[in-house]
């Protein structure tokens, strides 16, 4: 939902939606993620959410795990209205304990923690209500994954046991009259066999959600939403980088409101070889987007002169970007007002994705204030722009599917991330035109070889960095004293942790030999074999 703007047609009003109430487990977002994979639309909110303040009606509620113990004074608890809301509930781990606590305070500290695999034994019960066996229906005993120290010490009244493990006699429980289920194991992690099927049973068979969350459905509905939000005359501005998120967001705006969306590409002089030009061609000729390219190379490089400290470089690049973007926005806005394009620019497009939203709303503790997501950074205050975030509900892979649906090329949709500071943080130390040339050429060769070897999609991010040191070499029988390139390539699913990519020797040999031969000023090539942590993906 766009900040502060209710249009009545957000996905949670248009699709059958499940609500995950988050108690702060590191796996909470996976519940949402897994359900989306099942084409079930699902949103996560902090466990403190009051249902009376919710602008939409969930069709089922999932209570996540969390690091607290329900019997502690400071433990978080859900709005008791959850249990009177009239929709099915699934409690996972802490969520199970929360349910047991609500129905009779039947939770204590266990004698031993249970962490890792456990054998789940299923109990078929003669329930009075038809729902009682539905959660684990059709399963055999199976391996599940556990992570808890507390346990139920007795069955809350009106509940029956549907599963046990040697260590947890109440590993699965069900309310005998209401469709309320609790499980001690985590169905959202891959280590739990049939975990996805447990979530599917809950969503489809118990909550009766129609699994119609697809990008094809989303795009039609989102175009209508954007049109309604912006109106017939409203205009929108947004920065693009050539990356997948900003390109998909821009294409969506173009489809919805045509040239009333103004894309701005700030060429900060720190882009890769021929990048500004290729982004221009793709966005304008390829996707028909109304684009303004601002060449601010001089300005950025002047501001960066003599600066080598990484944080200072990042701050300068960020600050310059905001200034240039603001100036451009004001200029475009001045030109856009008045006939034939009535209506001034009053919206700013942002490519916020759902993981950013989750990060900002996930439950961080009873005393922590929940910060709202804001990456608006230096909006032109006098323009008074409202934020539009069409990707706000989507995970990255959903954005990629959407991009493909919108006719964006495979290569762009799968492009590796390229952070805003660009080559500015891949040239370690001071940034000069000479250093930029070396970094660009080396990076170009590395990526070209990765593409030629068919490895681009196996790697999550790859680049060449230029180190601020010189090494000795011998070239053409002559002693040289020149610079060093470090290659970096990592595999990761979430960019939180990452592993270096195991290229074979022949590949590295080829890249190294091309770089020292073709890039003047380089006499050595290294390969970075540091995982994250302790390394970061970028070098500065």
Q: Are 240 and 252 in contact (CB under 8 A)?
A: no
- 393 carries an active-site annotation: no
Task: Report the alpha-carbon distance of residue 78 to residue 508 in Å, rounded.
Answer: 55
The residue within the footprint of ligand GLN, chosen from 48, 69, 161, 297 (CB under 6 A), is 69
State which residue, 112 or 128, has the beta carbon closest to ligand GLN: 112
Please report, for residues 244, 336, 353, the alpha-carbon distance to residue 410 in angstroms, rounded to integers and kept in the order given.
10, 33, 20
Q: Both tokens of residue 27?
A: 């796996």
- Annotate each residue in 141-160 with x if it binds ligand GLN (CB under 6 A) or - if it does not, as one string: ------xxxx----------
Tell me which stretch binds ligand GLN (CB under 6 A): 48-56, 59-67, 157-165, 280-288: 59-67
State which residue, 168 or 428, has the beta carbon closest to ligand GLN: 168
Smallest gap from residue 153 Cβ to ligand GLN (A) = 12
Q: What is the dihedral of CA 487, 495, 273, 302, to 10 degrees?
A: -100
Relative orientation angle of helices 396-405 and 244-257, to the nearest 10 degrees: 50
Determine if 365 is a binding residue for ligand GLN (CB under 6 A). Answer: no
Q: Which residues on adjacent β-strands are paired with residue 114? A: 148
Smallest gap from residue 67 Cβ to ligand GLN (A) = 6
Determine if 65 is a binding residue for ligand GLN (CB under 6 A). Answer: yes
Touching ligand GLN, residues 102-121 (CB under 6 A): none
State which residue, 49 or 268, has the beta carbon closest to ligand GLN: 49
Please report, for residues 168, 186, 195, the alpha-carbon distance to residue 121 in angstroms, rounded to integers and kept in the order given.
10, 15, 14
For the residues of 303-328, what is the DSSP string, one character each?
HHTT---HHHHHHHHHHHHHHHHHHH
Task: Report the alpha-carbon distance of residue 465 to residue 436 in Å, rounded.
Answer: 10
Determine if 94 is a binding residue for ligand GLN (CB under 6 A). Answer: yes
Q: Both tokens of residue 418?
A: 């390229």
- 93 carries an active-site annotation: yes
Smallest gap from residue 81 Cβ to ligand GLN (A) = 22
Tell me which stretch binds ligand GLN (CB under 6 A): 54-62, 67-75, 270-278, 314-322: 67-75
State which residue, 65 or 424, has the beta carbon closest to ligand GLN: 65
243 known ligand binder: yes
Determine if 172 is a binding residue for ligand GLN (CB under 6 A). Answer: no
- 398 carries an active-site annotation: no
Q: Are 288 and 252 in contact (CB under 8 A)?
A: no
Smallest gap from residue 184 Cβ to ligand GLN (A) = 8
403 known ligand binder: no
State which residue, 148 or 400, has the beta carbon closest to ligand GLN: 148
Burial class from Cβ neighbours inside 10 Å (0-12, 13-18, 19+) for residue 124 reads: exposed
242 known ligand binder: yes
Task: Report the alpha-carbon distance of residue 60 to residue 201 in Å, rounded.
Answer: 12
The angle at the Cα of 412, spanning 406 to 415, to the nearest 5 degrees, equals 135
For the residues of 189-252, what is the DSSP string, one character each?
STTSTTHHHHHHIIIIIIS-------HHHHHHHHHHHHHHHHTTT-EEEEE--SSHHHHHHHHH
| DSSP designation for 16 | -
State which residue, 8 or 149, has the beta carbon closest to ligand GLN: 149
Closest CA to 514 of 525, 502, 504, 500: 525
Tell me which stretch binds ligand GLN (CB under 6 A): 3-11, 66-74, 215-223, 425-433: 66-74
Smallest gap from residue 297 Cβ to ligand GLN (A) = 51
Smallest gap from residue 49 Cβ to ligand GLN (A) = 18
Q: Both tokens of residue 460?
A: 């999550």
State which residue, 148 or 280, has the beta carbon closest to ligand GLN: 148
Nearest residue to ligand GLN, by Cβ distance, number only: 65
Determine if 167 is a binding residue for ligand GLN (CB under 6 A). Answer: no
The residue within the footprint of ligand GLN, chosen from 11, 58, 60, 66 (CB under 6 A), is 66
Q: Are 19 and 202 in contact (CB under 8 A)?
A: no
244 known ligand binder: yes
The residue within the footprint of ligand GLN, chosen from 2, 12, 22, 25 (CB under 6 A), is 25
Query: Which one of the listed residues 93, 98, 207, 398 is annotated catalytic?
Result: 93
State the number of binding residues for ligand GLN (CB under 6 A).
12
Task: Report the alpha-carbon distance of residue 140 to residue 350 in Å, rounded.
Answer: 47
Smallest gap from residue 28 Cβ to ligand GLN (A) = 10
State which residue, 149 or 377, has the beta carbon closest to ligand GLN: 149
Q: Are 60 and 90 in contact (CB under 8 A)?
A: yes
State which residue, 127 or 169, has the beta carbon closest to ligand GLN: 169
Query: Which one of the listed residues 10, 43, 188, 389 is annotated catalytic?
Result: 188
Tell me which stretch binds ligand GLN (CB under 6 A): 62-70, 119-127, 165-173, 239-247: 62-70
Task: Report the alpha-carbon distance of residue 349 to residue 319 in Å, rounded.
Answer: 19
Smallest gap from residue 206 Cβ to ligand GLN (A) = 21
Q: Both tokens of residue 72?
A: 């502690």
Task: Report the alpha-carbon distance of residue 540 to residue 302 in Å, rounded.
Answer: 20
Task: Report the alpha-carbon distance of residue 488 to residue 446 in Å, rounded.
Answer: 10
Smallest gap from residue 65 Cβ to ligand GLN (A) = 3
Q: What is the dihedral of CA 191, 194, 195, 196, to 10 degrees?
A: 120
Query: Which one of the listed residues 29, 148, 175, 186 is annotated catalytic?
Result: 186
Q: Which residues on adjacent β-strands are paired with residue 261? A: 236
Task: Report the alpha-carbon distance of residue 142 to residue 118 in Å, rounded.
Answer: 8
288 known ligand binder: no
Enzyme catalytic residues: 93, 186, 188
Contact residues for ligand GLN (CB under 6 A)?
A: 25, 65-69, 93-94, 147-150
Annotated binding site: 241-247
Annotated binding site for ATP: 241-247
């Amino acid at each position: 939902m766009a900040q502060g703007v209710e249009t009545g047609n957000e996905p949670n009003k248009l699709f059958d939606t499940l609500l995950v109430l988050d108690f702060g487990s590191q796996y909470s977002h996976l519940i949402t993620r897994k359900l989306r994979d099942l084409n079930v639309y699902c949103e996560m909110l902090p466990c403190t959410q009051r249902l009376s303040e919710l602008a939409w009606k969930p069709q089922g509620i999932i209570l996540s795990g969390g690091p607290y113990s329900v019997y502690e004074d400071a433990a978080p608890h859900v709005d008791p209205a959850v249990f009177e809301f009239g929709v099915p509930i699934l409690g996972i781990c802490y969520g199970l304990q929360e349910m047991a606590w609500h129905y009779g305070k039947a939770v204590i500290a266990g004698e031993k923690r249970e962490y890792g695999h456990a054998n789940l034994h299923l109990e078929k019960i003669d329930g009075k209500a038809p729902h009682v066996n539905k959660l684990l229906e059709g399963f055999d005993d199976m391996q599940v994954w556990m992570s808890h120290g507390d346990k139920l010490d007795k069955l809350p009244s009106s509940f029956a046991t549907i599963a046990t493990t040697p260590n947890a006699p109440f590993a699965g429980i069900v309310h005998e009259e209401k469709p309320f289920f609790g499980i001690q194991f985590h169905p959202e992690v891959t280590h739990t066999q049939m975990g996805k099927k447990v979530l599917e049973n809950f969503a489809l068979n118990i909550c009766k959600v129609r699994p119609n969350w697809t990008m094809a459905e989303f795009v039609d509905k989102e175009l209508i939403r954007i049109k309604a939000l912006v109106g017939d005359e409203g205009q929108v501005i947004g920065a693009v980088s050539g990356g997948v998120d900003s390109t998909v967001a821009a294409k969506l705006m173009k489809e919805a409101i045509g040239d009333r969306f103004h894309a701005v590409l700030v060429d900060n002089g720190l882009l890769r070889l021929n990048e500004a030009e290729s982004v221009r061609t793709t966005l304008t000729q390829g996707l028909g987007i109304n684009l303004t390219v601002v060449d601010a190379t001089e300005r950025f490089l002047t501001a960066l002169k003599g600066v080598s400290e990484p944080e200072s470089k990042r701050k300068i690049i960020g600050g310059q970007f905001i200034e240039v973007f603001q100036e451009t926005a004001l200029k475009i806005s001045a030109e856009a007002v008045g006939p034939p394009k009535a209506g001034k620019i009053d919206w700013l497009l942002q490519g916020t994705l759902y993981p950013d939203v989750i990060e900002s709303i996930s439950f961080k503790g009873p005393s922590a204030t929940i910060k709202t997501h804001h990456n608006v950074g230096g909006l032109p205050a006098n323009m008074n722009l409202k934020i539009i975030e069409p990707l706000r509900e989507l995970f990255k892979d959903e954005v990629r599917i959407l991009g493909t649906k919108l006719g964006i090329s495979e290569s762009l949709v799968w492009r590796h991330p390229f952070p805003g500071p660009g080559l500015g943080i891949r040239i370690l130390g001071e940034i000069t035109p000479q250093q930029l040339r070396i970094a660009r050429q080396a990076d170009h060769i590395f990526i070209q070889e990765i593409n030629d070897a068919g490895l681009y999609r196996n790697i999550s991010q790859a680049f060449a960095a230029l180190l601020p040191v010189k090494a000795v070499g011998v070239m053409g029988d002559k002693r040289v004293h020149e610079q060093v390139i470090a290659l970096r390539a990592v595999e990761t699913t979430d960019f939180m942790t990452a592993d270096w990519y195991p290229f074979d020797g022949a590949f590295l040999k080829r890249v190294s030999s091309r770089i020292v031969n073709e890039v003047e000023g380089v006499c050595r090539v290294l390969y970075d074999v540091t995982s994250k942590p302790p390394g970061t993906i970028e070098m500065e």
